């Protein structure tokens, strides 16, 4: 049985162990759709070139890079936060190669205790990381704390399609084929079995939207992407919170 423990040291060690092959597997296993999902999240935040943005669970910084290079509108600066040191090292190498070190910066830290001041950010975003946090509600409250009043939040996370035929086919792929391919390429025994198991335990879209509402956000909108394989949640910090 696959452990779905979200104890921070375990999760950080798991991601560090697959870091070198992480981007390759993301692109391969999603058939390149991961790039489109990140681009959609950035478009929803409607950057104007003045924003300072938090990218929580930044990993290898794909979303942070998208935020400062998107043709749809770019952020001024992004601070990427993650607790997996090897992921941050690779993210920094990517940012240096792209010549973006003046616009993308990194801090090592935990989503439930973000090491940055209150009201610091115009927007916050997290891609495929919130389900790995040991306390999602605490992380959402931290997002609200570090955002300015009226600041925007975008969350990308995996889900399951609800169309019957698509749902059955995707569950087979996600629970049978994906773990085998992930294990073969990453050389990690559990990481890509943990993925579908953790998605199954994550709240439904309706329940996660409720978590956002109860923890400092309003105007919550849930967008189903690619038949519900992924959901994008967009919300606004409640002024005065």
Rounded CA separation 77/14 (Å): 29
- DSSP-based helix, strand, coil % in the chain, nearest 5: 50, 20, 30
CATH architecture of 8-237: 3-Layer(aba) Sandwich (3.40)
H/E segment holding residue 207:
helix 205-214
Whether 99 has a pLDDT exceeding 60, the answer reads: yes
Rounded CA separation 85/108 (Å): 7
pLDDT in tens, 169-187: 988 887 888 778 777 777 7
The pLDDT score that the predictor gives to residue 2 is 58
Whole-prediction pTM value? Answer: 0.93
The pLDDT score that the predictor gives to residue 1 is 54
Q: Where are the domains of the chain?
A: 8-237
Quote the mean pLDDT of the chain: 91
Question: What is residue 89's three-state secondary structure?
Answer: helix
**Among the listed residues 163, 176, 180, the one whose alpha carbon sits nearest the alpha carbon of residue 229:** 163
Q: Which of 7-21, 49-63, 195-209 has the lowest mean pLDDT?
A: 7-21
The pLDDT score that the predictor gives to residue 37 is 96
The pLDDT score that the predictor gives to residue 45 is 97
pLDDT in tens, 126-138: 999 999 999 999 9
Whether 9 has a pLDDT exceeding 90, the answer reads: no
Report CA Rg, the chain.
17
Residue whose token pair is 């943990």: 194
Residue whose token pair is 């190669």: 97
């Amino acid at each position: 049985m696959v452990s779905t423990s979200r104890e921070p040291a375990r999760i950080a060690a798991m991601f560090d162990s697959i870091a070198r092959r992480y981007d390759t597997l993301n692109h391969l296993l999603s058939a390149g759709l991961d790039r489109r999902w990140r681009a959609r999240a950035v478009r929803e935040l409607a950057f104007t070139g003045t924003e300072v943005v938090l990218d929580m669970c930044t990993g290898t910084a794909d979303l942070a890079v998208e935020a400062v290079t998107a043709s749809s509108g770019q952020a001024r600066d992004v601070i990427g936060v993650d607790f997996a040191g090897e992921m941050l090292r690779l993210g920094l190498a990517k940012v240096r190669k792209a010549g973006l070190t003046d616009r993308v910066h990194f801090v090592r830290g935990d989503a439930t205790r973000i090491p940055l001041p209150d009201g610091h950010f115009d927007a916050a975003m997290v891609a495929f990381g919130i389900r790995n946090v040991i306390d999602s509600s605490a992380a959402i409250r931290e997002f609200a704390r570090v955002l300015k009043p009226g600041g925007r939040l975008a969350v990308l996370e995996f889900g399951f399609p609800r169309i019957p035929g698509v749902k059955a086919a995707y569950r087979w792929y996600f629970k049978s084929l994906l773990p085998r391919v992930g294990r073969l390429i990453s050389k990690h025994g559990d990481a890509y079995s943990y993925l579908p198991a953790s998605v199954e335990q994550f709240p439904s879209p309706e329940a996660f939207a409720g978590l956002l509402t109860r923890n400092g956000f309003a105007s919550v909108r849930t967008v189903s992407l690619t038949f519900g394989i992924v959901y994008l949640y967009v919300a606004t910090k409640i002024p005065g919170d």
